[in-house]
Structure 1
Amino acid sequence: MGRKSLKEIRQKEIVKSFYLVAKREGLDKTSIAKVAEHLKINPSLIIHYFKSKQELEVALIEYILERYLQIYTSNGKINSTEKLLDLIDKLFSRKWNRLFDDGVFYSCYAHVFRNKKFQSKFKQLHDSLRSILKQSFMDAQKSEIIKLENIDNQTEIIFALLEGAYYYLGLVDDKKEYNIKVECYKQHVLEILQVIK
């Protein structure tokens, strides 16, 4: 494996700073100048790597994907019931919130309705997450932990449940209500997966 180029390292630093400024200021109020100020560099250096704010926003979607993949891949191959249950717990946990700010995520998401490039990038992001989830279920099935008749459809249903739960649970402040809903969703996922005991 080769070393990362200076360009890759610098671009990643800029995207991380863009994210931090967007988290603090809001995506719409974030500018190349504010990111440069945060990094204590000249704005022309950012423009050298990203020609516009829109290019930075597209790179931010890649950053979102990298962060979210951590939840899906942190356990490695799903070859035990414990690892499967841990994955499901993580998918419905508030750890998502620590990985990426909801305000920045949904501000980016709002762009899909106005910008085809954003729409395409967000679809790639979700397709990648769906694919990783499916691979986890395939690993579990090979290890005879679950029994799925149509892994594509069942993954699709579980992914939609996760996305809907993530959106809705972001609105729930009451911890007891939150936990009741999470347990309900997790139970439905386990029923769909037909976990072998």
Structure 2
Amino acid sequence: MGRKNISDQRRGEIIISFYEVSRSLGLENASIAKLAQHMGISKGLVLHYFKNREELLLGLNEYILEQHLRVMVSEDIGKMDCKEHVIHFIENLFTRAWNTYFDDGVFYSCYALVYRVPEFKESFKAYLIQLHEVLYKKLEEAVAFDVIVATDLKELTEVIFALIDGAYYYLGMYNEHDLAYKQQIAIYVKYSLRLLDFRS
């Protein structure tokens, strides 16, 4: 068991380093050789833990998922036991809080691979499903606390997530300190909250 834990830890360190190289040089330029150089280890050692670059990319995708989940389940959000907490949760989904945990350039480069690598498409799809499940459970929690009226939560989850994805892509064109950026955020949050049937 100890060896497995060390192996998992080492794989995690390599993936984080691969992310750092990708952020610095661009994912398309992040090779195993450059990764090894960045870490000060041999290519052979990288290949001991990952058979090829494709396997590294899958690991990177899982790493990004973990970072996304950190945003969605942030401890400062609190339980969905009152209207204020639900509003705060929705607002947080449309902020640049995501960028605290991962780089947009790496994320979108990873996303582009779903059109070229079947395995990556499946990995990315699985990761999106998990994010949808987290949002669904948050809304379900709000229903359980009688904050919002029970409705078709699966459909509601899909619509809100579509708004988040579209908004995030579009907001990348703005400087987050600009007034126009803040105005766009306010619009997305307003219409997302209108989809929720609050008790009061």
Q: Can you give the 5+ residue segments of structure 2 that lack an aligned partner in the other structure?
A: none
Q: Tell me the C-alpha RMSD between the 2 structures.
A: 1.6
Cα separation, 2, equivalents of 1:16 and 1:101:
12
Which of 183, 187, 190 aligns to 2:186? It is: 183
Opposite residue 101 of structure 2, the aligned amino acid is L
- 2:174 aligns to what? 172
1:22 aligned to 2:22? yes
Cα separation, 1, equivalents of 2:44 and 2:3:
26
**Given the two structures, how large is their TM-score scaled by the length of structure 2?**
0.93
Change (3 A) 1:166 1:3: farther
Cα separation, 2, equivalents of 1:4 and 1:50:
15
1:53 aligned to 2:56? no
**Given the two structures, how large is their TM-score scaled by the length of structure 1?**
0.95
CA shift, 1:54, in A, is: 0.8
1:161 aligned to 2:144? no
Identity, % of aligned positions? 41
Cα separation, 2, equivalents of 1:84 and 1:44:
49
CA shift, 1:3, in A, is: 10
Matched residue SS, 2:195: helix
- 1:194 aligns to what? 197
Q: How many residues align?
A: 196
Cα separation, 1, equivalents of 2:130 and 2:139:
14
Cα separation, 1, equivalents of 2:7 and 2:80:
35
Deviations 1:128-156 (A, max 9, x none): 00000000000011101112421111111
Deviations 1:47-95 (A, max 9, x none): 0000111100010010010000011111354222232122112111111
Opposite residue 89 of structure 1, the aligned amino acid is E
